[in-house]
Amino acid sequence: MEADYVVVGAGSAGCAIAYRLAEAGRSVIVIEHGGTDAGPLIQMPGALSFPMNMPRYDWGYRTEPEPNLNGRVLATPRGKVLGGSSSINGMVYVRGHARDFDHWAEAGARGWAFADVLPYFKRMEHSHGGTDPAWRGKDGPLHVTRGTRLNPLYHAFVEAGRQAGYEVTEDYNGRQQEGFGPFEQTVWKGRRWSAANAYLRPAMRTGKVAVKRGLAARVVIEDGRATGVALKDGTVIRARAEVIVSASAINSPKLLMQSGIGPAAHLAEHGIETVRDRPGVGANLQDHLEIYVQMAASQPITLFRYWSLLGKAWVGASWLLARRGPGASNNFESCGFVRSAPGVEYPDIQFHFLPLAVRYDGRAAAEGHGFQAHVGPMRSKSRGTVTLRSGDPSDAPVIRFNYMSHEDDFPAFRRAIRLTREVFAQDAFAPFRRHEIQPGEAARTDEELDAVIREHAESAYHPTGTCRMGAADDPGAVVDPECRVIGVDALRVADSSIFPRITNGNLNGPSIMVGEKAADHVLGRRPLAPANLEPWTHPAWRVAQR
Q: Which amino acid is at 160?
A: A
**Long-range CB contacts for residues 106-114, cutoff 8 Å, separation at least 24:** 107/470, 107/500, 107/501, 108/469, 108/470, 108/471, 108/474, 108/477, 108/481, 108/500, 109/469, 109/470, 109/481, 109/500, 110/471, 110/481, 111/481, 111/527, 112/469, 112/481, 112/517, 113/530, 114/535
Per the annotation, does 81 bind a ligand?
Answer: yes
Per the annotation, does 358 bind a ligand?
Answer: no
Give Cα 245 distance to the centre of its chain. 17
Q: Which helix (H) or strand (E) holds 249?
A: helix 248-258
Per the annotation, does 90 bind a ligand?
Answer: yes
Q: What are the phi and psi torsion angles at 520 (to 5°)? A: -65, -40
Q: Which helix (H) or strand (E) holds 180?
A: strand 179-182
Beta strands in 307-427 (DSSP E): 334-338, 349-354, 370-377, 385-387, 398-400
Q: How far apart are the first and last CA of the chain?
A: 57
Report helix angle 114-124 to 98-106, nearest 10. Answer: 130
The number of beta carbons lying within 10 Å of the beta carbon of residue 18 is 32
- Rounded Cα distance between 254 and 262, Å, is 9
Q: Between β-strands 225-231 and 216-222, what pairing exists: parallel, antiparallel or unpaired?
A: antiparallel
In DSSP terms, which residues pair with 188 in a beta bridge? 191
Q: Residues 27, 203: contact at Cβ < 8 Å?
A: no
Per the annotation, does 402 bind a ligand?
Answer: no
Residues 6+ apart with CB under 8 A from 41: 47, 50, 51, 54
Exactly one of 155, 462, 521, 538 is catalytic; which is it? 462
Could you please report the per-residue DSSP string of 466-518?
Answer: TT-B--TT-TT-SB-TT-BBTT-BTEEE-SGGG-SS--SS-SHHHHHHHHHHH
Q: Residues 437, 293: contact at Cβ < 8 Å?
A: no
- Rounded Cα distance between 107 and 503, Å, is 14
Q: Residues 502, 379: contact at Cβ < 8 Å?
A: yes
Per the annotation, does 452 bind a ligand?
Answer: no
Q: Decide if 462 is catalytic.
A: yes
Could you tell me which residues are annotated as the binding site? 81, 89-92
State the catalytic residues: 462
Annotated binding site for FAD: 81, 89-92
